[in-house]
Structure 1
Amino acid sequence: MASSSSLLSEDQFLCPICLDVFTRPVSTPCGHNFCMSCISTYWNDTPVCRCPLCKETFERRPDLKVNTFISELASQFMSLQVTDANIWSSDQQQAIWGGVVLCDICTDTQQEAVKSCLECLSSYCDVHLEPHHRAAGLKRHTLVDPLARLEDRLCKEHTRLLMMFCRKDKVLVCDVCASSRHQRHDVVPVQRAYAEMKVLLGDAETKVQRMIQERLQKVRDVTDLVKQSETETKDVIASGVQELTVLVSEVQESRVQLIKVMEEKQRAAKEQADGFVSGMEQEIAELRTSTMKMEELKQTEDQFCFLQRFINSPLLPHTMDLSTFSFDRLVEINHVRKSLSTSLSQLRKLLSKMNTEIKLSDGTDTSNDAALGYLQQYEEDVLLDADTAHPLLIISDDRKQVRYSMGSGLWANQILNPGMFTEHLAVLGQGGFSSRRFYFEVYVGGKTEWCLGVATASIQRRGSLFRSPDCGLWAIWFLVDKFETFSAPNVPVHLGKVERVGVYTDYNRRQISFYDVQTATHIYSFNECLFTETLYPYFNPCDNEYGSNLEPMIIVPVGRTP
């Protein structure tokens, strides 16, 4: 009976290579059967064509054709077995389509179906199923447990059960479709596809749950950070206002003190000058009296009287030595003016710097030069860690330069340090950062390819490093005339060439930014990074794939040329 698989064993239809039900079975000249794709792949990987089972060798590779008899038997077997799989279970289908399967023949009250016929595409109750047990033609039909919407499970073109799955086109196909238009495709039984898709579904579900948890945690973190920022903002405002109020009060006090001191000194200078002028006026009067007396004496003709009066009367009154008096108030005023101007200029610069830092911390746009200058104050003296360098890299004696060497010979025989890179032409900076901000600059000159950024302490150093957002490397990769991030290949983020790159990391704000130092232009930023361990500067001078690229990457101090 076609409705029973008791005479058929699954072992009879298993390919000895893939251990699954035959897909497009072929027979070798020695009489053994395999899936066409399995035996073809097997022979492609061996220097001679021989049977995997009996080891008989064939001088020429056999031209195999699908064994239609075995294929038909396998199809019949699978048509029976597929109804027992979970994907075709009547219980699940009834749940999907909303209830029991009813007889398609009943005209009055429809009875519950006990079997479905894959040839008739109908479901039958016990009464209307009876012809399938009696009529010779109907006995050959395939009866299965009741299934809803049978027409959806059959190929519209060949009216055969959809019991195969094409991995390439991602469609369910019948055995005829598999042997025709999907002949060269990767076709597997629905049972295997179902099992594989269940695994993929489980993996996707696990990934989705992980993503949900990550986002929930991120929401909690952001919420906590917002609350913390509100508290700290209030504290900064309160302390800032208090300090600025004190400063304003001190400035006001300095203003009052300036006015008081200057007025008192001016008053004292004026009193000194008034006393001097009064004394001068008195001396002038006395000198004028002396002049009149001298005129009278000059008119005396009597020589005796002239001499007697000349001897007894002093010609000049007692006067002050003018060289002992100087009025230097103007010099003092000019000194105060100059000192005041210098102090106020310094104060204005400090206020300007304070305002710039306040604007930058709030993300307010300022000039490029001012923004870069603000970041450069966090400069760190970075040195290269030679113990992490790939064997084909040369580190300078001062540990400030790294370049690729084509003449390093066979390094595979060298004793490798456990912390060195073996696949990427990379080296890390010495000394890591697990908090705060840090900045460094690198001169790349005319290099045609390089990679620069920040890496975690646990970054993979042995073998290839998978380019993904969670690989532990936040870096930009320059190729000829464009930039891309290491974690997102072939996605340009900036165009043009640069000679000097600034790298700024804010550990607490989870941000890494790159700048063209010469033009103070922003190149790219990684935001909302997940930092959970120490970070290290990462340098990769790359090889010569994109032209002459043997020049070094040089760590340079801010404001100095290499």
Structure 2
Amino acid sequence: MCSEMDNIMKTRETAEDHSPCGRITFVTAVSRMMCFCSIDVNLCLNLTVLFVCFFSEMALSTTLLSEEQLLCSICLDVFTRPVSTPCGHNFCMTCITTYWSDTPVCQCPLCKETFERKPELKVNTFISELVSQFMSLQITDAHIRSLEQQQANSGSTVLCDICTGTQENAVKSCLECLTSYCNVHLEPHHRAAGLKRHTLVNPLTRLEDRICKEHNRLLILFCKNDKVLLCDICSGSRHMNHNVVTVEQAYKEMKDLLKDTEAKVQHMSQQRQQKVRAMEESLKQRRRETDDVLANSEQDLTALVSEIQKSQMELVKVMEEKQKDAEEEVNSLISDMAREIAELQRTAMKLRELKQTKDQLCFLQKFPNSCSLPQMMDLSTFSLNRHLKIQHVRKFMSSSVSQLQMLVNKMNTEIKRFTDGTGVSEALTLRYMQQYEVNIFLDPDTAHPLLVVSENGKQVRYTMGSGVWEVSSLNPDMFMEHLAVLGQIGFSSRKFYFEVFVGPKTEWCLGVATASLPRRGGLARTPQCGLWVIWFLEDKFETYCSPGVPVHWGKVERVGVFVDYDGGQISFYDVQTTTLIYSFTECSFTEELYPYFNPCDNEYGSNLGPMIIVPVSDVT
């Protein structure tokens, strides 16, 4: 028996010395000797133990086991939950399952052997163990390099966990013991047979975080479903049907994902920085506008008060002068009348004396001279209308003061609304936008054949025609798909505003469009289609590029459209309630924008009324 064992060991040495796969050759030799030699049962058991120990040693050796031997032929990566087919080939569980689900015939990807029924696959624990040991060594090396680099950068060292006095620097860490050792305390791992099989690595910190607490094995896998680290035993038990990858692959994927997330964060940060700069600039602009408003208001109000004071002084001066003139005129008339009264009284005395004369001859001689009246003023030319003039001035001043008081009250009300913030913001915003009003005329050359544009270019309505026309005879600028018409003038800069009366219409579209907007065929409903409009349907508003997504509810009769070309903004307002309907913001305009009108058809009924361009000051 001893000679047979010697032959076996010699075969082992020969195989290991002369073959790159010496251990496999040794296994073959053992198998042959067990078949052809007369060996008793005990010897077979001993040989089996020797084979198992030897093969386990082989699994831990990186010099005889290369990564190529552990690659799946489908994914070309190291086996993850390896399984064996009935024909003897090995694949990842996920790879072979996916392969069979995509093919009508269940066959081996390598030898093409066909199976009548889909084999029931189970993880090959032997190959899984080999992969686990191999990956443990590979990942451990990567961890060691990474941690060594980190420790080198930080200048930190790992101390021996066994030293009781002054702790020496550790030279190795044991993944099974979860302990770091100095040279003295590491000696048993070089001497004791049981400790020799432990995995020693360069000193590591926090070893317990790298070991599965349940199975006391190295964490070498990552479950993408549950987002947890796994050992090989965890992978084959509770995570059988999960997407499990190696730590290295998960690290690479997460690193790529982190790079994308970092780019998004950077982009979001830049957006917010731009917003902050825009808000700061807006605040500065508001400060300038506030200063201008205060300066102008103070100047205007001071000038108004000064004018009122001047008017008051002028009124006092004029009234005093008129009163003085009236008094002088009346006093002069009174003096004249006093003289006339005295003259009349003398004449009256003469007449009484004449009346008492009894001598007829004497009476007749005195009568012609006595009966003649003295020269007097014509009282019919004297008028008291100066009093009426004063009454007129009084009424006029009262009316003027009342109007001024109303304006002052209105001004105070606006100031109070601004102080309280009760709906004044949007009202002031709308008033600000209305100052950029432009005079819009519709271009009939762009109108759909079923639309009628008024002669003054201010109205457009839908007509229920036959819908039959000769396309070749129509204007090439005419809309054929959309019931639309454009304004005559386009805008490539600045701000502009216009208002449209829609009345009781049940459907309509309004906004602006680019000059290159297609006039024939359909139009993609995307933000890049070149059309920025709101679409009203019965009781709700949508945008053309986002159908089915309401942005506002309710009806309006009069719509204000404001476009800030340089600022990339388009806003729609309910003019009557000074309420914002919707705003397109952060738009990028590269060509001229034209006002866009679409009165729509009569699908919802009561929709044959026109869309009317109205001036800001007009009340329809």
**TM-score after normalising by structure 2:** 0.63
Q: Which position in structure 1 is the counterpart of 2:312?
A: 255
CA contact (8 A) 2:93 2:123 kept: no
Q: Percent identity?
A: 53
Aligned to 1:192, the other structure's residue is in SS state: helix
Picking from 315, 320, 332, the partner of 2:372 is 315
Q: Which position in structure 2 is the counterpart of 1:195?
A: 252
Picking from 65, 78, 86, the partner of 2:121 is 65
Tell me the distance in 2 between the aligned counterparts of 1:487 and 1:194.
40
Alignment of 1:326 with 2:383, yes or no, is yes
Tell me the distance in 1 between the aligned counterparts of 2:69 and 2:509.
58
Change over 3 Å in CA distance of 1:102–1:330 after alignment to 2: same
Tell me the distance in 2 between the aligned counterparts of 1:523 and 1:243.
35
Q: Deviations over 1:499-548 (max 9, x none)?
A: 4586686969999887665555677899xx7688689799999x9xxx97
Q: Which position in structure 1 is the counterpart of 2:236?
A: 179
Tell me the distance in 2 between the aligned counterparts of 1:62 and 1:442.
71
- Report the Cα offset of residue 82 of structure 1: 1.7
Q: Which position in structure 2 is the counterpart of 1:339?
A: 396
Alignment of 1:157 with 2:197, yes or no, is no
Aligned to 1:89, the other structure's residue is in SS state: helix
Give ranges in structure 1 of 5+ residues lacking alignment: 409-416
Change over 3 Å in CA distance of 1:91–1:402 after alignment to 2: farther
Letter in 1 for 2:323: Q
CA contact (8 A) 1:49 1:61 kept: no
Number of aligned residue pairs: give it.
Answer: 536
- Report the Cα offset of residue 272 of structure 1: 2.2
- Report the Cα offset of residue 13 of structure 1: 3.8
Letter in 2 for 1:83: T
**TM-score after normalising by structure 1:** 0.68
Change over 3 Å in CA distance of 1:522–1:228 after alignment to 2: closer
Coordinate RMSD, CA, aligned: 6.1
Change over 3 Å in CA distance of 1:366–1:399 after alignment to 2: closer
Letter in 1 for 2:387: L
Aligned to 1:148, the other structure's residue is in SS state: coil
Q: Which position in structure 2 is the counterpart of 1:413?
A: none
Pairing 1:101-250 to 2, within 5 Å after superposition: 101-105=158-162, 110-125=167-182, 129=186, 137-138=194-195, 140-209=197-266, 237-238=294-295, 240-250=297-307
Q: Deviations over 1:203-235 (max 9, x none)?
A: 444444555555566656666666676666556
Give ranges in structure 2 of 5+ residues lacking alignment: 1-57, 468-475, 518-522
- Report the Cα offset of residue 258 of structure 1: 0.7
Change over 3 Å in CA distance of 1:525–1:462 after alignment to 2: closer
More displaced stretch, 137-146 vs 160-169: 137-146
Aligned to 2:78, the other structure's residue is in SS state: coil
CA contact (8 A) 2:526 2:546 kept: no
Picking from 328, 333, 339, the partner of 1:282 is 339
Tell me the distance in 2 between the aligned counterparts of 1:25 and 1:426.
65
- Report the Cα offset of residue 259 of structure 1: 0.2
Alignment of 1:48 with 2:48, yes or no, is no
- Report the Cα offset of residue 3 of structure 1: 4.8
Aligned to 1:258, the other structure's residue is in SS state: helix
Tell me the distance in 2 between the aligned counterparts of 1:356 and 1:259.
32
Tell me the distance in 1 between the aligned counterparts of 2:205 and 2:382.
124
Greater percentage in helix: 2
